[in-house]
Amino acid sequence: MFNPIIVLYTYFPQKLALRVLILLILAAAFSALFDLLWRKGKLGRNKARLYMVLFLYLLGLFFVIVLGRRTRPNVRIELDPFADYIKLLAGSGEYLKETALNVAAFVPVGFLAYIVAEKARFLKAVLSGLAVSMLFEFLQFVMKNGLCEVRDIINNTAGALLGAVLGVICVIIIKKRKAD
């Protein structure tokens, strides 16, 4: 199956400008789509803006996590998430930093997904983080850059969960202020 992103990444691994251009084209296309949906009345203006922010954030994460790494000749799947957590508990600063970054990167995903969802907001926000994380890990494996790690999926989903909790808190605060 033809995948233009893989082809471009394979033939232009050093071309950062090309990757940025691809992302800008995708952002412009989705911006036009959200604008069209807003103009046709399918989405409210604020909802369309929130979807656009979520999309741009996911696009940025895609760039950093999937396209922002060099191709490796030997890729593997790390299925034991607890080995690194044991190192983390032993006081390894490297694993603490990596874990914190993985969690923090997906907090906005959970928060924004919670805000834009209509029904079952919390579940949709957490599952969105899980799905995006699994997609990114799969793409890293297929494109042979980075490791495909279960630990990253767990940490990213925890970040989406934390973002959804922040979304719940924000909605409660906003509703309370409107009631007063």
How confident is residue 17, by pLDDT bands cut at 50, 70 and 90? low
How confident is residue 64, by pLDDT bands cut at 50, 70 and 90? confident
pLDDT at residue number 91: 72
- pTM, whole model, 2 decimals? 0.76
How confident is residue 11, by pLDDT bands cut at 50, 70 and 90? low
What's 41-108 look like in SS3?
CCCCHHHHHHHHHHHHHHHHHHHHHHHCCCCCCCCCEECCHHHHHHHHHCCCHHHHHHHHHHHHHHHH
pLDDT at residue number 15: 55
pLDDT at residue number 127: 94
Least Cα distance to 160 among 138, 141, 135 occurs for 135
Last residue of a domain, one of 12, 38, 68: 68
| Close Cβ partners of 24 (under 8 Å, ≥ 6 residues apart) | none
Is 177 or 17 the better-scoring residue by pLDDT? 177
- 115 with 91, same domain: the answer is yes
- 131 with 86, same domain: the answer is yes
- 51 with 99, same domain: the answer is no
- Number of helices (H), then strands (E), belonging to the chain: the values are 7, 2
- 175 with 108, same domain: the answer is yes
Quick check: 7 pLDDT over 60?
A: no
- 24 with 110, same domain: the answer is no
Give the residue numbers spanning the domain of 179.
Answer: 76-180
* pLDDT single digits (tens) 22-61: 667 777 777 777 677 777 777 777 877 888 888 888 888 8
pLDDT at residue number 10: 58
- 102 with 27, same domain: the answer is no
- 154 with 90, same domain: the answer is yes
| Close Cβ partners of 136 (under 8 Å, ≥ 6 residues apart) | 61, 62, 65, 66, 156
Segment 170-177 mean pLDDT: 90
Q: What are residue 77's DSSP bridge partners?
A: 148
Segment 168-178 mean pLDDT: 91
Last residue of a domain, one of 15, 42, 68: 68
- 10 with 60, same domain: the answer is yes
- 173 with 90, same domain: the answer is yes
How far apart, in Å, are the Cα atoms of 111 and each of 19, 27, 170?
A: 27, 20, 9
Last residue of a domain, one of 68, 90, 114: 68
| Close Cβ partners of 118 (under 8 Å, ≥ 6 residues apart) | none
**Count: domains in the chain:** 2
pLDDT at residue number 130: 96
CB 95 within 8 Å of CB 76: no
CB atoms within 10 A of CB 94: 10
Quick check: 4 pLDDT over 70?
A: no
- 64 with 80, same domain: the answer is no
pLDDT at residue number 143: 78
CA distance 141 to 66: 9
* pLDDT single digits (tens) 72-126: 667 777 777 777 777 777 776 777 788 889 999 999 999 999 998 888 889 999 9
- 44 with 95, same domain: the answer is no
- 163 with 120, same domain: the answer is yes
